[in-house]
Amino acid sequence: MTEINEHLLIRPDWKNPILYRRKWQTGISSALDGNEVRSALFTWPRRTLVYSILSKGFTESSYIGRKMHKNLHNVWGVPFWQDKTLLTSQASSGQKILSVKSTADRNFEVGGSCILLSPNDLSLYDAGVIAPGGLGPSQITLEEDLAHTWPPYTEVYPVLKARIKTGQTLNVITSRMVETGIEAVEEYDDGIIRNIGGADSFFDYKGFYVFDRTPNLKNGSQKFFHPYDSLFFLGKSYSMSHYIETALGLQANHLAPEKSEVQRILDFFDYQMARLGSFWIPTWQEDLRVTQAFGAGATTLEIESVEFYDYWLGTKTGMHAVFMWPGEAPIYKEIVDSSHPMTDPATIKLDEPIGRACSSQELPRLLASFLLFCRFDHDEIEVKYVTDMIGETDLSFRTILDEVPMGES
């Protein structure tokens, strides 16, 4: 087990967000036609904390300076500042069991460290290792007894065993105050039972999960990828492409107003092991506009003409769609046919009845988007915690056209 040489216990300056990262590593080999072979190079995500510290005076400035001077090159114990929980009853010296408000959606792990902190005294703390079987929803059991007695509402944090990058800079504010940025990268420790998230809270469509969290569309974007060879230097261009069709890249910002929602996103990212996994995602755009009311048994829907027959029919991008009404569960369907472009009205045909009627009054509330088969397009996820409960993250996705599922769910 990796030993902690020093703890860094000055609380962060919350005027700047705390950045929490989880990094996987994916090997990707791509053929000329865009087909991929992906492999996982990590078996668990490596974590990083980035935050700023502003000392309040001589005591804290001196604390930072002497700690960095002696132990910058060693292993540090850095609290996960965004993962605070509180004691719900007194924890006495000599006992191992802590009763806390909640351990859920936080980085508490069996074999990992946790720490109890004094609100004012940097030298007063109790750090311990969580014992096997010692982690419950509202209880933590340590391997060793507490050295001090702690009152209710004492702050309890999980601890990151980390290295702090060399070249650490202290920015001098006054003769007694300094400011610094901390980047703490996880040190390997095989004594910890890793918490790797799952995706069971997400809907399953044709054997794969749908990442259905609504993004902040104001900060979203869409890219088009279709590599081709060209000979512009000869004066006349020549294009040759091996792609079956244009691949799409999507970027979106997600704001999670509750800690459980932050964790839900992190769990999904972990389940996919970043770029390794495959899943569905709506474009969240009005790709199709349904123009006529329909019944629950309808398999043919009238749409505003988007030349579907010429541009989307038979493509992987236009093969699946999601139909969404506010406050209701989405409906996912495969599009198997469409009317000829000269036909009026324009229609699309679904593989099975849609299962929900829609009146003409409800049509303006219906959002019909393409459902894309994707992977994440990055190996590291970063959450910006603006408070210890609210976080936001930017996510990137890329379509994987050669793997799009077909047929019955």
Q: Is 153 left (phi over 0), alpha (psi -120 to 50) or beta?
A: left
Is the preceding omega at residue 345 within 30 degrees of 0, hence cis? yes
- Structure confidence at residue 16 (pLDDT): 93
Residue 274's SS3 state is helix
Q: In the predicted model, what is the mean pLDDT of residues 10-15?
A: 94
- Structure confidence at residue 407 (pLDDT): 62
Of the ranges 164-168, 318-322, 354-358, which one carries the lowest mean pLDDT score?
164-168
Of the ranges 8-17, 116-125, 221-230, which one carries the lowest mean pLDDT score?
221-230
Residues present in the chain in total:
409
Do 10 and 53 touch, CB atoms closer than 8 A?
yes
With a CB cutoff of 8 Å and minimum separation 6, the contacts of 210 are 202, 203, 204, 279, 280, 281, 282, 322, 330, 332, 371
pLDDT bucket at 409, cuts 50 / 70 / 90: very low
Domain locations in the chain? 6-186, 204-403
With a CB cutoff of 8 Å and minimum separation 6, the contacts of 288 are 303, 304, 306, 308, 321, 348, 368, 369, 370
- Structure confidence at residue 151 (pLDDT): 97
Do 104 and 130 touch, CB atoms closer than 8 A?
no
Round to whole Å and give the CA distance between 386 and 279.
29
- Structure confidence at residue 235 (pLDDT): 67
Amino acid at 387: T
Q: Which residue has the tokens 């081709």?
A: 228
Do 284 and 371 touch, CB atoms closer than 8 A?
no
